[in-house]
């Protein structure tokens, strides 16, 4: 638990809530029991609930798994009262920890962000968390540019896995952010006693992030379709070559089988019998190729 307090405003951040943390909140704050219970209960969908004396929010922050190379939702529970902001999360959120360290080490920072209401502080916290999405989205777009270059450089097979990884990342990113769009919009449109009327929570930033995600989704789907088309074209060309070889070799195979079934092989006693039959096979192969070219089959 980390506590930052300046004047009339206090911010308590709880990482992986323990029973002692819950007891501390129950003893020192007049918070509805159901709101405190929400801190220890996983919330699978973002929501906002108005309790007596506080406002509870649950939002999901897009976090990145460097091992699996994909985005996953990190739940952030928020309790907002008239003089306190309480945040709780199970997963480590680097941007949140960094902001807390800045506040703890700088009196000017505390005076800047703690000069108004807890809702204004919450606005800055959400602003930091949402703006942290832009560098990662830039990285996604850079990956798409790299994939595009490699696809048209003839590395279609190598890019199948890369396209799947980026596509999964984009879809998980969208799945994390989309459900809470309505939550952020409701906070700006509806009247809440702990949120000033002039405070509009993150509507513009959320729209910008969503527009970039839409662009990334369309791009990765187009690259996947293009890559599959190029792979299919290469496969068709390979099958065409193999079919031509099979068609050319088939008459030669029939000719050799006919010789094998003969009791006496023509020119069998001739010293150059092998080369004579070899020339016949070349003539048959050449005739097959000429017929195929005449029929425009290749």
pLDDT along the chain (298 residues), means of 10: 84 89 87 87 84 87 88 90 90 88 85 84 87 92 94 90 94 88 71 65 75 93 93 85 83 81 71 82 85 78
Q: In what order do the strands lie in the sheet with 47-51?
A: 2-6, 9-15, 84-89, 70-80, 54-65, 47-51
What does the block give as tokens for 85? 């902001």
Closest residue by Cα to residue 60 from 195, 193, 178: 178
Domain assignment of residue 287, given as a range:
236-294
The verdict on 193 and 281 lying in the same domain is no
> How far apart, in Å, do the first and last CA atoms of the chain sit?
74
For residue 213, what pLDDT is reported?
A: 92
* Same domain (yes/no): 266, 124: no
Alpha carbons 72 and 61: distance in angstroms, whole number: 8
Residue-level pLDDT at 203: 65
Single residue among 205, 233, 261 that ends a domain in this structure: 233
DSSP-derived 3-state class of residue 190: coil
Determine the pLDDT at residue 228.
Answer: 92
Looking at the fold, whether 79 and 175 belong to one and the same domain comes out as yes
Q: How many residues does the structure list for the chain?
A: 298
Q: Are 200 and 188 in contact (CB under 8 A)?
A: yes
- Are residue 119 and residue 75 in the same domain, yes or no? yes
pLDDT at 13: 92
Give the single-character DSSP code of 114: S
* Residue 150: predicted pLDDT: 93
Output Rg (C-alpha) for the chain, integer angstroms.
Answer: 34
pLDDT of residue 140: 93
Shared-domain flag, residues 132 and 160: yes
247 with 123, same domain? no
DSSP state of 115: S
CATH code, 80? 3.30.460.20
d(CA 197, CA 119): 11
Q: How many domains does the chain have?
A: 2
198 and 251 share one domain: no
Q: Does residue 257 sit in the same domain as residue 124?
A: no
Whether residue 84 is found in the same domain as residue 193: yes
User: Of 216, 233, 250, which residue is a domain's last?
Assistant: 233
Q: Are 46 and 84 in contact (CB under 8 A)?
A: no
Same domain, 249 and 260: yes
Q: CA-to-CA distance for 254 and 5, rounded, in angstroms?
A: 93
Q: Are 199 and 58 in the same domain?
A: yes
Is residue 221 domain-shared with residue 275, that is, in the same domain?
A: no
In the prediction, which pLDDT does 39 show? 87
* Phi then psi dihedrals of residue 17, to 5 deg: -55, 130
Contacts for 178 with CB less than 8 Å, ≥ 6 apart: 210
């Amino acid at each position: 638990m980390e506590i930052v307090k300046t004047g009339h405003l206090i911010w308590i951040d709880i990482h992986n809530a323990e029973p002692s943390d819950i007891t501390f909140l129950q003893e020192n704050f007049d918070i509805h029991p159901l709101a405190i219970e929400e801190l220890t209960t996983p919330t699978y969908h973002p929501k906002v609930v108005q309790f007596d004396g506080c406002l509870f929010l649950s939002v999901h922050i897009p976090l990145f798994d460097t091992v699996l190379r994909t985005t996953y939702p990190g739940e952030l529970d928020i309790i907002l009262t008239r003089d306190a902001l309480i945040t709780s999360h199970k997963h480590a959120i680097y941007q949140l920890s960094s902001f807390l360290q800045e506040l703890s080490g700088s009196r000017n920072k505390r005076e800047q962000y703690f000069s108004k209401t807890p809702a204004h502080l919450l606005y800055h916290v959400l602003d930091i968390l949402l703006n942290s999405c832009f560098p990662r989205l830039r990285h996604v777009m850079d990956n798409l540019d790299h994939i595009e270059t490699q696809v048209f450089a003839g590395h279609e097979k190598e890019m199948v896995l890369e396209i799947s990884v980026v596509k999964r990342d984009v879809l998980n990113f969208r799945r994390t952010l989309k459900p809470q769009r309505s939550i952020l919009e409701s906070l700006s449109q509806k009247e809440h006693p702990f949120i000033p009327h002039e405070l509009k929570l993150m509507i513009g930033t959320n729209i910008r992030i969503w527009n970039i995600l839409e662009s990334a989704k369309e791009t990765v789907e187009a690259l996947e379709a293009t890559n599959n088309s190029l792979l299919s074209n290469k496969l068709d060309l390979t099958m065409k070559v193999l079919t031509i070889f099979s068609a050319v070799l088939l008459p030669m195979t029939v000719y050799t089988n006919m010789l094998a079934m003969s009791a006496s092989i023509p020119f069998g006693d001739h010293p150059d019998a092998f080369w004579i039959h070899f020339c016949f096979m070349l003539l048959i192969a050449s005739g097959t190729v000429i017929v195929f070219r005449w029929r425009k089959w290749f």
